Structure 1
Amino acid sequence: MDDERKSTVRAVERALDILLCFTRSTELSLTEIAAAISLHKSTVHRLLATLEEKGFLTRDAATDKYRLGIRIWELSTRLPVTGEPAALLLPQMESLRDRLGETVSLYLRDGLERVRIQAVQSHQAIRRVAQIGARLPLSVGASSKVLAAYAPPEVQQQLLDAADWPAFIDKAGYIRQLEEVRRLGFAVSFEEREPGAAAVAVPIVGRSGAVAAALSLSGPVSRLSRETLANYAAVLKDAADEMGLMVP
């Protein structure tokens, strides 16, 4: 009985691992999924067939690739919005976008990554497009530095000790950057993750006194000089103070 229960739990874990592959890609082949979760293709094929039958995945016959199915959307519509920063803070984010003219994003830390949970795109012809749901490393970017700066010391150490730490980033210099973020209350980045992109980010401190999220503004370096970002940081700080009163 124990072996049967363990087998069932493993199947559930593997099915969830398959679904989590789609946090990074919208379409994946059987081979790509099998490689991502380190399972034999025959095992993955059986799990994919079940997920497809239940509506959690759908397969494009022309490309033979899988993407998320209608059941995922149905579940997402049942998410409670009360108290959720992504829903609560959207009006303030839109106001910031209209005032400053650049893309505004909201990030949460999840382990050693940041997740974009909300974004309001700039109306500018040349703009930075931010995809909601994107997962990004904590090692680079203004929002990453904000979330890492206010993370517990043990999380910061895990980040520095991670096997995928970028070799081109000096760890001692990174620690100094985090100290500077805490001193100034904001972080900036210039082409750290994307060529031609710049950003400024500030922490949103909730009513509990803990950092609830990172609020960022991003756009092309042609419009966002260091002086401009420093000026925008003051605007973002004021907005973050108001937002912090709305989240736990």
Structure 2
Amino acid sequence: MSVDDVDRLEGQDADAKPSPSVLLNGLRVLESFSIAEPVLGVTEIARKVDLHKSSVSRMLATLEKAGYVERDEGTGRYRLGLGLIALAGPLLANLDVRRVALPELEELTRRTGETSALMVWNGHESVVVEQIPSPKQVKHTAAVGTRYDTHASSSIQVFLSEMPRAETERLFDRRLLVGPDERESRGEYFDELNATRDRGYAVNDGRTSIEEVGISAPVRDHRGVLVAAVMLSAPRFRVPESMLEALGRTVAESARRVSARLGAPAAARD
């Protein structure tokens, strides 16, 4: 969104500087769309972002001019526009880890027959930046750009397993990340994160979706720093508990190969 767009959005003078809150609200409007709700009306968006409908309408008009949303003339509802692809293209194209991981994801899907993906951390969510879908008719997939924000997600477990506990607690306390509920104490969850770090992969066996299994393992760069996670997702009926350990080792090995291609020290890959 350009400065001129923001000025028109709020009716400011051409020389006025945009308010940070205006920019953030525009981003919140864009983030209100999801895989589950790809098409939304003004009233629905206003409720999601807690803004007046007139303000949301002005923002959508500007976003539409910029190509970031598209309006259905028949229904008056909105969906994300192709302008976002152009906006994100340079970032995705220059993510070395994405380029390096692609052949390993293809091989992982070939070997297992299940969907593989590359995940990165944005500070409070795990985001899909690459995916190779399963060739099978029944499969679990998530489009590039899909965000995960629940503690039980396997990729979230990988990222949190190397984060200081106090920082993870802050994410839970500020509700930036969906934390354990009354059925699982935080202490138990942090024990689980320690186990994830020790064995080299994380498992989500139907905890966020009873029909899906997710397995993730860490990817490290030349400094040995965690920069991404390789994730395998599959329908739960195809992955009995007896297969989890073997699949976990397979995913971890794929992640180690990506790490090696990024120049990670051998000690950091073990």
Question: Into which bin does the TM-score normalised by the smaller protein fall?
Answer: 0.7 to 0.9
Contact 2:39 2:77 in 1 (8 A): yes
Structure 2 residue aligned with 1:102 = 114
> How has the CA–CA distance of structure 1 residues 13 and 210 changed in structure 2, closer, same or farther, with 3 Å as cutoff?
same
Residue 224 (structure 1) aligned to one of 239, 244, 250: 239
Give unmatched runs, 5+ long, in structure 1: none
Structure 2 residue aligned with 1:154 = 166
Deviations 1:187-215 (A, max 9, x none): 11211111121122111121111111111
Structure 1 residue aligned with 2:261 = 246
Contact 1:82 1:88 in 2 (8 A): no
TM superposition shift of 1:8: 4.5
Structure 2 residue aligned with 1:68 = 80
Contact 1:203 1:213 in 2 (8 A): yes
Structure 2 residue aligned with 1:56 = 68
TM superposition shift of 1:244: 1.0
Please say if 1:13 is aligned against 2:43: no
Structure 1 residue aligned with 2:179 = 165
Q: Percent of aligned positions with the same letter in both sequences?
A: 28
Residue 135 (structure 2) aligned to one of 118, 123, 143: 123
**What SS class does the counterpart of residue 127 from structure 2 fall into?**
strand
Contact 2:28 2:49 in 1 (8 A): yes
Deviations 1:62-112 (A, max 9, x none): 222111223223333444623432333111101110011111122112222
TM superposition shift of 1:217: 1.2
Q: C-alpha distance in 2, partners of 1:38/1:51?
A: 18
Q: C-alpha distance in 2, partners of 1:141/1:160?
A: 14
Q: CA RMSD in A?
A: 2.3
Give unmatched runs, 5+ long, in structure 2: 1-11, 264-270
**What SS class does the counterpart of residue 222 from structure 1 fall into?**
helix
Please say if 1:194 is aligned against 2:205: no
Q: C-alpha distance in 1, partners of 2:260/2:142?
A: 25
Contact 1:112 1:155 in 2 (8 A): no
TM superposition shift of 1:57: 1.7
Contact 1:138 1:159 in 2 (8 A): no
Instruction: Give the AA of the match of 1:120.
Output: I
Number of residue pairs matched by the alignment: 246
Summarize the alignment of residues 82-101 of structure 1 with structure 2, pairs less than 5 Å apart: 82-101=94-113
**What SS class does the counterpart of residue 22 from structure 1 fall into?**
coil
Instruction: Give the AA of the match of 1:139.
Output: H
State TM-score, norm by structure 1: 0.88
Q: C-alpha distance in 1, partners of 2:172/2:23?
A: 32
Contact 2:230 2:254 in 1 (8 A): no
Structure 2 residue aligned with 1:32 = 44
Deviations 1:2-57 (A, max 9, x none): x9746554433332332232356422211121122221111111121122223222
State TM-score, norm by structure 2: 0.81
Contact 2:200 2:218 in 1 (8 A): yes
